[in-house]
Homo-oligomer: A and B are copies of this chain.
Amino acid sequence: MKRPALSMVVLALAASFTLAAQALAQTDPLPSWNDGPAKKAIVEFVQATTTQGGPQFVPPGERIATFDQDGTLWVEQPVYSQIMYCLARVPAAVKAKPELAEVEPFKTVMSGNREAIAKLSMKDLEKILVATLTGMPTEEFRAEAKKWLDTARDPRWKRPYTELTYQPMQEVMKYMRANGYKTYIVTGGGQDFVRVYAEEIYGVPPEQVVGTAGGTKYGYDKAGKPFLLKEPRLLLNDDKAGKPEGIHLMIGRRPRAAFGNSAGDKEMLEYTKAGDGARLAMLVLHDDATREYAYGPAKGLRASKVGTFPQSLYDQAGKQGWVVISMKSDWKQIFSFDK
């Protein structure tokens, strides 16, 4: 038998590598998505903006994608996870300042009366936020929040809140990062709170989390060691118009792609789409009461104070070329633990 020449072996090897590479390239980057206009919009946007020499090519440095968190990356119903954290921290706040025990809204929270707690006003809530999110060194806050996240369980799924992230959105973030996009979280939630877990659960480092932020005050402890004290001084209310303002402050570039799910994301999506060249704007519509929640009031869904998606936003999306993601029909799987 004649042995194949070395060059033949090399050619054969090269061919098999090429096939393997093609197979890899053809692996679906968004396996939890059903085929449809939403999935198509994401894939076409990423391909168009990363095709060197193409008319919509975007240089890597300008590939910025921003993601709202509550309701876009993880569950926000029946109430934002951070509010659960703040309520859980009230006993510690009262212990540190016993005079709070006799003052509203702390008295109500300490009573454990769920019905009364659910009726607390925004003003009451603000007092709870200030008492539980400020007044301590940044590192102490971080340690407390981490401890809670490790032990608290969502009442519906009985799982850590950090497991309630949407698998399809995790895939979008990974897919965009694999294509040179820097993924940012731009959230109305507390910047310091989200930074505690964003790297571990989303692969988004602290410096890529933009959120509602308060000031800190530099000082020294008794041993002369410097620390930053969290102050009740609002620097950025990262919601609605505050989102593009926060993006300018913290990133300094207009996003190429933005993802949201509520009226709080309108301005971020407008700002994103107002830039030149290819831009992607998407909104998650929660229309799946069985697998998650259904709320609007867009499309006749029940109204919700948390994560309101009004019909006007739905109409604006249609007019301005934003893509609405139907949780029910676009997502094959919602959570990583779904079978």
- A residues with CB within 8 A of B: 61, 64, 138, 182, 191-192, 195, 199, 205-207, 209, 213, 215-218, 225-228, 235-236, 241, 244-245, 248-253, 267, 270-271, 274
- Can you tell how many copies of this chain the complex includes? 2
Q: B61 touching A249 by the CB < 8 A rule?
A: no
Instruction: Report the minimal beta-carbon distance from A10 to chain B, rounded to whole angstroms.
Output: 15
Q: Tell me the bound Cα distance from A267 to B216 in angstroms.
A: 14
Q: Are A252 and B206 in contact (CB under 8 A)?
A: yes
A275 CB → nearest B CB, Å: 10
- Which listed residue, B182, B199, B227, B245, touches A61 by the CB 8 Å rule? B199
Q: Is the CB of A213 within 8 A of B271?
A: no
A244→B228 CA distance, assembly (Å): 8
Known: A61-B199, A226-B267, A267-B226. A216 touches B248 (CB 8 A): yes
For A227, what are the chain B residues with a Cβ–Cβ distance below 8 Å? Answer: 274
A217 to B218, CA, bound (A): 28
CB distance from A268 to the nearest CB of B (A): 10
Q: Which chain B residues lie closer than 8 Å to A195 at the CB level?
A: 252
Q: CB within 8 A of A252: which of B61, B207, B236?
A: B207
Which chain B positions have C-beta within 8 A of A235?
Answer: 235-236, 249
State A92–B179 Cα separation when bound (angstroms): 43
Complex Cα gap A286–B263 (Å): 53
Question: How far apart are the CA atoms of A253 and B228 in the complex, in Å?
Answer: 12
Residue pair A274, B228 in contact (C-beta under 8 Å): no
Interface core residue of A191, A216, A227, A252 (most chain B CB under 10 Å) = A252
Task: Give 21 A-B contacts (CB < 8 Å), ordered by A residue.
Answer: A61-B199, A64-B207, A191-B249, A191-B252, A195-B252, A206-B253, A207-B252, A209-B252, A215-B249, A216-B248, A216-B249, A218-B245, A218-B267, A226-B244, A226-B271, A226-B274, A227-B274, A228-B244, A228-B271, A235-B235, A235-B249
Q: With both chains docked as a complex, state the minimum distance between the C-beta of A59 and any C-beta of chain B, in angstroms.
A: 11
- Choose one: B182, B228, B250, B251; the contact of A248 (CB below 8 Å): B228
A197 to nearest B CB, angstroms?
12
Return the contact of A215 from the options B199, B225, B245, B253 (Cβ within 8 A).
Answer: B245
A227-B274, A235-B235 known, 17 other contacts, Cβ within 8 Å: A61-B199, A64-B207, A138-B248, A191-B252, A192-B252, A195-B252, A206-B251, A216-B245, A216-B249, A217-B245, A218-B271, A226-B244, A226-B270, A228-B248, A228-B271, A235-B236, A235-B249
